[in-house]
Amino acid sequence: MHLIPKPLHFAGQILRTRHRSLTTCSSLRESLDASSKSAGTAQSSGNDWEIKMLYDGGCPLCMREVNMLKRRDEGKGKIYFVDIDAPDYRPEDNAGITYEQAMESIHGILPDNRVVTNVEVFRRLYDAVGLGWVYAITRVQPIGRLADWVYGIWAKYRLPITGRPDLEVVLQEKKTCK
């Protein structure tokens, strides 16, 4: 088990009451079915999207961000949302990014198939919905590197903070349930 810094552990205690851990294949399937029904898997109108966002539909905090971005996008299709937790997620449709890679940190795919990661993804997402000013300061170094470092800590502890099993357990459950 990873040692989680105290503030992150406390946040995880709070969130555990809102999100149950996946422990069986049937609960994994139920979670996957619910996430694909509620969040959609990969929808955007046309090919005018500016960035494809790969997100974890099983992460409650991630879903808050996704839902906010969907509201801000207002059906313009600037962001192409892809739920990596959906049963129909296919790496070959997403620049070869595997479920494991996408679970380790946020990934975005640009229309020319270039992959962006970490805070750059958020910068581009927020730019797409008219909130570019929120992350604009991260273009300046060393602030950008610091923001990536802070995001890296979040990404490392995201699963236990949100009351989910470690990534190794989640990956094993996915393999077992196929």
Distances (CA, A) of 33 to 16, 26, 30, 37, 49: 21, 10, 5, 6, 26
C-alpha to C-alpha distance for 43 and 141, rounded to whole angstroms: 34
Is residue 72 situated within a structural domain?
A: yes
Q: What would the pLDDT profile of 17-33 be if each residue is shown by its tens digit?
A: 334 434 445 444 454 45
Question: What residue type is 90 in one-letter code?
Answer: R
Question: Is the pLDDT confidence value at 39 over 50?
Answer: no
Is residue 10 situated within a structural domain?
A: no
Is residue 112 situated within a structural domain?
A: yes
pLDDT of residue 37: 42
Quick one: which of 158, 153, 132 has its CA closest to 60? Answer: 158
Based on DSSP, count helices (H) and strands (E) in the chain, helices before strands: 7, 5
C-alpha to C-alpha distance for 120 and 107, rounded to whole angstroms: 9
Is residue 143 situated within a structural domain?
A: yes
Confidence band, pLDDT 50/70/90 cuts, at residue 49? very high
- Using an 8 Å Cβ cutoff, are 66 and 42 in contact? no
Report percent pLDDT > 90 for the chain.
66
Is residue 14 situated within a structural domain?
A: no
Q: What would the pLDDT profile of 115-153 be if each residue is shown by its tens digit?
A: 999 999 999 999 999 999 999 999 999 999 999 999 999
Distances (CA, A) of 57 to 75, 92, 130, 139: 19, 19, 23, 28
Confidence band, pLDDT 50/70/90 cuts, at residue 36? very low
Confidence band, pLDDT 50/70/90 cuts, at residue 4? low
Q: In terms of residue numbers, what domain contains 138?
A: 22-172
Is residue 13 situated within a structural domain?
A: no
Is residue 5 situated within a structural domain?
A: no
pLDDT of residue 155: 94
Task: Judge residue 82's burial from the number of C-beta atoms within 10 Å of its C-beta, 0-12 exposed, 13-18 middle, 19 or more buried.
Answer: buried
pLDDT of residue 42: 54
Question: Is the pLDDT confidence value at 168 over 80?
Answer: yes
Q: What would the pLDDT profile of 144-158 be if each residue is shown by its tens digit?
A: 999 999 999 999 999
Higher pLDDT, 109 or 170: 109
Rounded to the nearest angstrom, the gap between the alpha carbon of residue 51 and the centroid of all alpha carbons in its chain is 14
Is residue 12 situated within a structural domain?
A: no
Q: What total number of domains does the chain contain?
A: 1
pLDDT of residue 46: 64
C-alpha to C-alpha distance for 79 and 52, rounded to whole angstroms: 6
- Using an 8 Å Cβ cutoff, are 92 and 80 in contact? no
